[in-house]
Each structure stands twice: as C-alpha cells, then as structure tokens.
Structure 1
Amino acid sequence: MAYKALKSKGGKIVLKLERGDDVLESITQFIEDYEVRDGVLLAGIGSLSKLGMHYVVPYEDFPEMTEDEDELDERIVSEGAWEVGNMQGMIHDGKPHVHLTVYSPERDQTISGHLESGCRVHTLMEMVLEPLEGLESS
C-alpha cells in the first residue's frame, strides 16, 4: 500500500491509489498518517478487481435496531472488473464511513452500498478529501 497524497492550498487532498491497494485500508492509513479527526470524502473514481461492500436489504416495516445491525445488510464479495462511478463519505472521530456506486460490465449490474475492507484497486483510484477542523457535536 503506497498511496500518494497531494495537498492543495485550499486544504483539499487528492489521494491516489494504485493496482492492488485495499481502498478502505488506504483511506484508514491516510487518516492515521495525517491525523484527520473529521472530514469529508468529496468524490472518488476508479476501478476495482475485487469488490467488498454491503447494502441494506428490503423489508416491509422498519425493524427495531438491535446491537447486531448486520442482520439488516446484504454482503457482497466479488472478483472481477468493477468500475467505480461515484464514491463519497465522511470521516468522524478518525473513522471513515464511505459509500460507493459500482458497475460491472461482465454482469451488466450496478450496485450501491457501504465500502468494506477487501476492495482492491484494478488500475487506479483517485479521491478528493477535505479535512474539517473544529466540528462539535450538538
């Protein structure tokens, strides 16, 4: 994992990942290296050779949340070519919460959901992040 971070004068940072990098691990490492407590992932594009994500499954009535919210999610782990059309999210208390929309030409399938560890960059991944300072909970 050898991400490149390019910082603009305005405070935004372009994060570039290369083939084989784990997307979530790279974002997490960047957060630790640059001591980002809070921030926003404004955009991300690229391609994946392995997809790891989850999304909420359909249900008739909104279920009561339990400590194990995993039962409400469908998990996907898939090898193959995936094009990332959009990626955005938040960083809060040093933890990333990232959503993405991907398309597989092999499957003619578009999926949107929550990024998980295991997503591997196929050729390139580029993201724009902006650290936010002074956020307080209300």
Structure 2
Amino acid sequence: MNSFESDDGHVIVRLDRGDMALESIERACTAHEVDTGAVVTGIGTFSTLHIHYVDRTDLPDEQADRNASRELTGAWEVTDINGVIANGEPHLHVTAFDGDRTVGGHLEQGCEINVLGEITIRKLPGLELERRPNDRQISQLERR
C-alpha cells in the first residue's frame, strides 16, 4: 500500500497484490489525518471479498440478526467503492463482479487485493461528523 496527498485534500491510495483493502484505507486515513471525508472512487480486483448487507425489512432488535454476510473467493472485479469517513472511521460499500454475478454490500475487513486497487479519498475540512446509534441501534451521522 502506498498513499499520496494533493495540496487540495485528496488522498490517493494505491493497493498492491496481497494488501487488505479496508485495513489499508484505515491506515491511509490515519497517516493523512482524515477525520471527516468521503471515498469518492474506488476500483480494483479482489481475490477474497467479505461483505455484509441488510437482508430483511423487519429490523429485529439484535443488530447481528439484521445482516447477511458473504465471504467469497475468486477473481472479483471491483467496479466501485464509496462511502463516508466520520471521526476517522470509514463506512464503505463495494460492488464487484466475478464474470457470472454481481454482488454489493458493506465492505468488511479481509478483502485481499488480487491485482491492484486505487482509492480516492476527499477530506472535508470544517465538518466534524461521527456515527451515533439511534433508538433502533442504527448508526447515523451526526455533527460532533
């Protein structure tokens, strides 16, 4: 992993074969002091893809009961990674294609880069956000 910052607050993260996507993005946020920002583009390939997504509409009280997880292997072409960084913590979604199916969901740790990855982060100076759970235990963006 390598990262580069422009004068106007953009951070480009280069991911190499064997790098872990989310973990590398988190390290880049720390290294470049990204408190509040947005991942505005992300492309690449994964050899392992770990995601979760909400698979129901009734929203049970237990948060763990709301999500389905997938751990997929193979050659995954990543067509998009995007999301918001609040209080230094990325909340990102991914869309990927393996030649037969397209999947999408919340990007989890353990997504290994197959060939390459390129992520663009935009810092949002003057805005301080964090996630706080509401009465249904759903994390929502709020000003700090």
TM-score range, shorter chain: 0.7 to 0.9
The one-letter amino acid paired with 1:99 is H
Match of 2:107 in 1: 115
Match of 1:126 in 2: 118
Match status 1:93 vs 2:78: no
The one-letter amino acid paired with 2:59 is P
**Distance in 2 of aligned mates of 1:128 and 1:80:** 25
SS of the aligned residue for 1:112 comes to strand
Gaps spanning 5+ residues in structure 2: where? 129-142
May I ask how many residue pairs the two structures share in their alignment? 130
The one-letter amino acid paired with 2:94 is L
SS of the aligned residue for 2:109 comes to coil
What's the C-alpha RMSD, in Å, of the aligned pairs? 1.4
**Distance in 2 of aligned mates of 1:75 and 1:47:** 20
- Name which structure has the greater RCO, CA cutoff 8 Å, separation 6+: 1
**Distance in 2 of aligned mates of 1:31 and 1:11:** 12
Match of 1:63 in 2: 59
Match of 1:37 in 2: 35
**Distance in 1 of aligned mates of 2:117 and 2:63:** 30
SS of the aligned residue for 1:99 comes to strand
- How far is the alpha carbon of 1:80 from its aligned partner? 0.7
Percent of pairs identical after alignment?
36
- How far is the alpha carbon of 1:7 from its aligned partner? 2.0
**Distance in 2 of aligned mates of 1:20 and 1:90:** 25
TM-score normalised over the length of structure 1: 0.88
- How far is the alpha carbon of 1:135 from its aligned partner? 1.0
- How far is the alpha carbon of 1:32 from its aligned partner? 1.4
Structure 2 matches for 1:17-56, cutoff 5 A? 17-56=15-54
TM-score normalised over the length of structure 2: 0.84
